[in-house]
Amino acid sequence: MTIKVGDKIPDVTLVKATSEGPEKVQSSEYFSGKKVALFSVPGAFTPTCSAKHLPGFVAKADELKAKGIDEIACTAVNDPFVLQAWNERDGSTAVTMLADGNGDMAKALGLTMDGSGFGLGQRGSRWSAVVDDGTVVQLNVEEGGSFEVSSAENMLNQI
């Protein structure tokens, strides 16, 4: 079943990519008591993710925070080392990378995709959400391979 507005983010273990190395994070603790702009990409360093999705949230970080967002986070079914390298190359300190290496969060949310045709295996799909104290208050899920509703720009227009 796919998560929807009003649902709580499921409690799973993610791995936060930090300059000191990987750090396990429980989603229930991470999302507690703050408003997070969360977005998911099929994979670090992939074309749309690197050219549009991550750069959009980096460029709009100050505007999102001015509208009440406490933290911006990106999740992907990648390992934390890949997400850290991607953030160092294309991101910024304004975006927290949360690795979902085993796809536990993507599965629990019901937001997976099959990238086997491209050699990617099972991945998280492309989407964005505003999560307020662990509850989804806004959700934008892309259809197919599109990039239309999950952008930082669209999120800003909805807040």
Q: Which residues are catalytic?
A: 49
- DSSP at 10: P
Query: What's the CA angle centered on 121, arms 119 and 80, to 5 degrees?
Result: 100
- Residue 134's SS3 state is coil
Decide if 95 contacts 57 (C-beta within 8 A).
yes
Nearest CA to 74 among 89, 62, 64, 84?
84
Residue 78: both structure tokens together: 């990648």
CB atoms within 10 A of CB 3: 18
